[in-house]
Amino acid sequence: MIVFPNCKINLGLNILALRPDGFHDIETVFYPVALNDALEIIPAPDGLIQFTSTGLSIPGDAEANLCLKAFRLLQADFGLPGVKMHLHKVIPMGSGLGGGSSDGAFALKLINDLFALGLVNDQLGNYARRLGSDCAFFIGNQPQFASERGDHLKQSDISLTGLYLVLAIPEIHVNTAGAYRMAAPRMPAHPLKELIRHPIEAWKDLLVNDFEKPVFKKHPRLGEIKQKLYDAGAIYAAMSGSGSALYGLFDGGTKPEIQLPGCFTWISQL
């Protein structure tokens, strides 16, 4: 069986406070975007667990991959046989697009279907939270307001349908833990739930990503890319998550034309 894990962008991201468990309370809106990896899982009669990948290089120990971790979570509870997994990686790592989290969440859903485990989304979401803070979002995979660690989710009726999205991903890797260390938690004057109700045309002056200031200071190129998106006519532009991906939302009438040297650029109508 094959699935196609997609990425996400963040519409606003406020870092509210450092939690006693060492994580941070945040508020953001996760919005799904159809830039996809591909994940195949098949049973292995020999009982072995095999993981391979193509596409973008995946650094680190394969055992740390969230797809394998997802399988082992379910194997421990359901006594699953071995599997062969193959991941074709398209969504860049360290870009703030949640590609790894999506891979892990989609692995849970695929294993659930492949072995007819009968788990419903609430149960899959609980497993996903054990994988990572934003993994649970990709179980429902609909626009959602996220709070606490990013794993407390409520359905959002925000729609960007019809707009063009330009994703600009430079060859810069931003470590999420390092980005949190650079950011200063703060309580915003107005909650994100209130601000995001304004027309998209007003978001430029209202919605912020608290990672931008420290990350742009360390990587000025990212701030330059954001400005180029606005110069090209974006209604709203921002960094996704802790970066390094930038995105611009453009009016849906005409497909935007923009040149961003040194970036992987992906354009799609939402």
Clarify whether 134 is annotated catalytic: yes
Question: Burial level of 45, CB count in 10 A (0-12/13-18/19+)?
Answer: exposed
- Residue type, position 259, single letter: Q
Angle 219-99-113 from CA coordinates, rounded to 5°: 175
- Other C-beta atoms closer than 10 Å to the C-beta of 118 total 8
Clarify whether 122 is annotated catalytic: no
Q: Which helix (H) or strand (E) holds 88?
A: strand 82-89
Closest by Cα among 140, 79, 76, 72 to 106 = 140
The DSSP-derived string for 163-214 is: -EEEEEEES----HHHHHHHS-----SS-HHHHTTS-GGGGGGT--BTTHHH
Angle 217-218-221 from CA coordinates, rounded to 5°: 80
Q: Which is the catalytic residue, given 69, 103, 109, 134?
A: 134
Q: Where are the alpha helices (DSSP H) in the chain?
A: 66-78, 99-114, 121-131, 137-140, 176-182, 192-195, 212-218, 220-231
196: Cα separation from own chain's centroid: 19
End-to-end Cα, the chain, rounded Å:
27
- Other C-beta atoms closer than 10 Å to the C-beta of 46 total 9
Q: Which is the catalytic residue, given 8, 69, 226, 228?
A: 8
Q: Which active-site residues does the annotation give? A: 8, 134
